[in-house]
Amino acid sequence: TAFSRGSALLTPRNRLLSSRRFFSSSPSSSSSLLKISPEVTTALARNQPVVALESTIYTHGALGDDLDLEGIVRAHGAVPAVCGILAGQPTVGLTPEEVSRMVREGARKASRRDLAFLSAPAVRQGSGAHGGTTISGTMVLARLAGIRVFGTGGLGGVHRGGEVSMDVSADLTELGRTRVAVISSGCKGFLDIPRTLEFLETQGAFVSTFADGRDAAGKVDFPAFWARESGVPSPAVVRDEQDAAAIILAQEQLGIESGLLFANPIPEEAGIPRKEMEAVIETAVREATEKGFTGNANTPYVLQRIRELTQGRSVPANKALVQANVARAAKVSVELAKLMD
């Protein structure tokens, strides 16, 4: 995705090569390995709204099979594009049947670092393991396909104690280098939110929160997944989807390659207050450390433990927030398509 990087340095021959590789009319041509579904290919070619969806939420989320995120995207007039690695084939626009197969047969959790490893079978026309792509992995695939907007649950971040363990999600560095707009309920509430925001600032990622009529002057919290409030003010605030679309387009017109985060607080009626969650979170995080759940096993373990400790109450909240984020992402993608018309 080395679009127009230092074009002054290109010789005419290099310019020709680079324009063939990166500016040809079909967005899929930037990667011959990536499979993009016909529906998504057509929508992108026509500049119609498309929303990327991650597959980790299905393969590692255990939120049930009635999320219907694709239905939500379609109901708002956009085309859904579930991203993941199906039997060794990196894919944008997985069908519901393909996603079910991944869930049934089991998938590896795949962030940026895992993509080539899991996709190597397709290079040799063979078949391999499934990869449920995280926010990081999904952003990479979405960007390669030319998708600008991605709706999901909660961003990964700097883990509590991360200043010692150095457990910092690849989602954060991805936002630093991959121009995709992510709509999430802030970051997962068991993380170190102030440090997560510091890290995103250093990475040059735009971070904002939808105000939804609240006073925008420094009073809007960056949300904490299950809770609307975090005690940490959002670095920026956006009013609505039209605002978000204009920011996304400005970033593109300026040629800034970093990503953008639009936090969408959990719907009021579905939220679990921060105070209530705090004790549960502390237990889950402590146990994960004691039992040695490090690396990419940490987040799934903590989420699973929180589910048990809340007697399942965290699940409907998680579902409601993902669905609201995906609806919002679809609206943003529709506004973006209007602006680009």
Residues that bind ligand PSU (CB under 6 A): 54, 56-57, 60-61, 134-135, 153, 156, 169-171, 296, 299-300, 303
DSSP, collapsed to helix, strand or coil, labels residue 140 as helix
Which residue in this structure is represented by tokens 């299905």?
58
Question: Which residues, at least 6 apart from 26, have a Cβ–Cβ distance to it below 8 Å?
Answer: 41, 45
Give DSSP secondary structure letters for 75-125.
HTT-EEEEEEEETTEEEES--HHHHHHHHHH-EEEE-GGGHHHHHHHHHTT
Q: Which of 104, 173, 107 is nearest to 135 (CA)?
A: 173
What is the Cα–Cα distance from 180 to 220, expressed in whole angstroms? 23
Nearest distance, CB of residue 192 and ligand PSU, angstroms? 12
Q: What is the number of other CB atoms lying within 10 angstroms of the CB of residue 261?
A: 27
Q: Which is nearer to ligand PSU, 27 or 90 (CB)?
A: 90
Q: Which is nearer to Mn ion, 173 or 325 (CB)?
A: 173
Give yes or no for residue 335 binding Mn ion (CB under 5 A).
no
Nearest distance, CB of residue 154 and ligand PSU, angstroms? 7
Q: What is the number of other CB atoms lying within 10 angstroms of the CB of residue 46?
A: 9
Nearest distance, CB of residue 243 and ligand PSU, angstroms? 25
Q: Which is nearer to ligand PSU, 171 or 192 (CB)?
A: 171
Name the active-site residue from 35, 109, 188, 319: 188
Q: Taking a C-beta distance cutoff of 8 angstroms, is the pair 322, 275 a contact?
A: no
Nearest distance, CB of residue 284 and ligand PSU, angstroms? 13
197 binds, among Mn ion, ligand PSU, none (CB under 5 to 8 A by kind): none
Name the active-site residue from 54, 70, 98, 335: 54
> Residue 218, class by beta-carbon neighbours within 10 Å (0-12 exposed, 13-18 middle, 19+ buried)?
exposed
Stretch that binds Mn ion, among 120-128, 164-172, 262-270, 283-291 (CB under 5 A): 164-172
135 binds, among Mn ion, ligand PSU, none (CB under 5 to 8 A by kind): ligand PSU
Q: Taking a C-beta distance cutoff of 8 angstroms, is the pair 45, 146 a contact?
A: no
Per CB under 5 A, contacts with Mn ion among 284-323 are none
Q: Which is nearer to ligand PSU, 60 or 319 (CB)?
A: 60
Nearest distance, CB of residue 311 and ligand PSU, angstroms? 18
Q: Which of 168, 221, 232 is nearest to 194 (CA)?
A: 232
Stretch that binds Mn ion, among 46-54, 163-171, 205-213, 268-276 (CB under 5 A): 163-171
Q: What is the number of other CB atoms lying within 10 angstroms of the CB of residue 251?
A: 18
DSSP, collapsed to helix, strand or coil, labels residue 31 as coil
What is the Cα–Cα distance from 235 to 260, expressed in whole angstroms? 12
57 binds, among Mn ion, ligand PSU, none (CB under 5 to 8 A by kind): ligand PSU
Tokens of 169: 């999600």
Q: Which is nearer to ligand PSU, 233 or 300 (CB)?
A: 300
Q: What is the length of the chain?
A: 341
**What are all long-range contacts of 308-314, with beta carbons under 8 Å and residues at least 24 apart?**
309/280, 309/283, 309/284, 310/272, 310/277, 310/280, 313/272, 314/226, 314/272
Helix, strand, coil percent content, the chain, rounded in steps of 5: 50, 15, 35
Count of residues that bind Mn ion according to CB under 5 A: 1
Known active-site residue 54: yes
Q: Which is nearer to Mn ion, 194 or 316 (CB)?
A: 194
Nearest distance, CB of residue 142 and ligand PSU, angstroms? 13
Stretch that binds Mn ion, among 23-31, 165-173, 236-244, 311-319 (CB under 5 A): 165-173
Nearest distance, CB of residue 63 and ligand PSU, angstroms? 7
Which of 167, 171, 174, 241 touches Mn ion by CB under 5 A? 167
User: Which residues form the interface with Mn ion (CB under 5 A)?
Assistant: 167
Q: Return the active site residues.
A: 54, 188
